[in-house]
Amino acid sequence: MLGICRMVLMLVAIGVAVLPARSLAADRIVLSQYGIAATTVPFAVMLERGLFKKYGLDVDGFIGSNGGGTTIRNMIANGMPFSEVGTPAVFAAVHQGINLVIVYASTNNMGETSWVVKKDSPVKTIADLKGKKVGYIGPQSATEVASRLIMQHHGLAQSVTFVATGAQGGAETALDAGAVDAIPLSDPVLTRTANKYRVLFRVTEELPNFTNGVGVVMADYAKAHPDVVRKIIAARKEAVDFIYAHPDEAAKIYAQVWNADDATARQTLATLIRIHFWSDGAFNARSMDAVEEGYKLVADDPKSVPDWRTITDASYLPKGR
């Protein structure tokens, strides 16, 4: 009898050992700049308000990423190869042969993102950037694409030096040290540093239509799990609707996750709501065209950049979108 018990225990142990990790833990979604960039606020709302469970999704959190190619790599390695990431990073990944499909637009514009200069900087207008150094977060990021496109529109594409500074902390250090003359910032950092820096221009003033963030999934996964993709998008849309309808409650969630004070949270969300920052998922052709145009300025081979219409699939969006 003792031998049989030992055998049973051994078989149970083996069985548990070979169970796939997915059966022992919920999924997590890879998100670019979660808790840093405002693009991901809807996901914080989804988690706080239990929308994943409402839509039958076993998701209990997120894997934050610095953005760009890092987010794409993390997404591919994740059990659920779905992510929200900067649109230029998706162009770059597809350009490199990664089989991704864009399933929704997460933004209509770049929100409160602004390029700032020191308070005492002689740079007063975009024209004053001639011969200066303009910072951006990283290669082929939304900030590089936007800054190059804006400089091109002002005839300064060949007259400024573009410098990758890293994330906002590194950008501040570079600006303070005089390594660059202007850097991109977004809230809550933008508001917190208002006593140090002066806004030179807001992206929405220069590029009112610019979809800098999208939802993306590995094409094979989307085909195999279309219901999962549709449920995530539907839950996110409900979260976006909630933000617009209940800004004060959404601001409380933002304040907690983004480590912002209540006043900053309310001010940030009020600004983003006013300019209709978050998309409910629908694609805006003008906004997507603008990102594609900008990406061609940073691509190694602009002629081979895919038309965004060939790498998007609106069939996963809720009916009517």
Q: What is the pLDDT of residues 69-105, one digit of tens each?
A: 778 888 888 888 999 999 999 999 998 899 999 999 9
Say whether domain 21-109+210-316 belongs to CATH 3.40.190.10: yes
Q: What is the number of other CB atoms lying within 10 angstroms of the CB of residue 1? A: 5
Residue 135 contacts residue 167 (beta carbons within 8 Å): no
pTM above 0.75, yes or no: yes
Tell me yes or no: is domain 114-206 CATH 3.40.430.10: no
Hey, is 49 helix, strand or coil?
A: coil
Residue 210 structure tokens: 């610019």
| pLDDT tens readout for residues 146-196 | 999 999 999 999 999 999 998 888 999 999 999 999 999 998 899 899 999
Buried residues in 276-299 as b, exposed as e (16+ CB within 10 A): ebbbbbebbeebbbbbbebbbebb
Are 21-109+210-316 and 114-206 the same fold in CATH? Answer: yes
Q: Give the 3-state secondary structure of residue 107.
A: strand
Domain residue limits, the chain: 21-109+210-316, 114-206
Residue 320, pLDDT score: 65
Q: Give pLDDT, residue 184.
A: 96
Q: In what helix (H) or strand (E) does residue 148 lie, and over which residues does it extend?
A: helix 142-153
What distance lies between CA 116 and its chain's CA centroid?
21
Contact 244, 221 (CB under 8 A): no
Contact at 8 Å (CB) between 308 and 291?
Answer: yes
d(CA 107, CA 321): 15
Count of C-beta atoms within a 10 Å radius of residue 245: 10
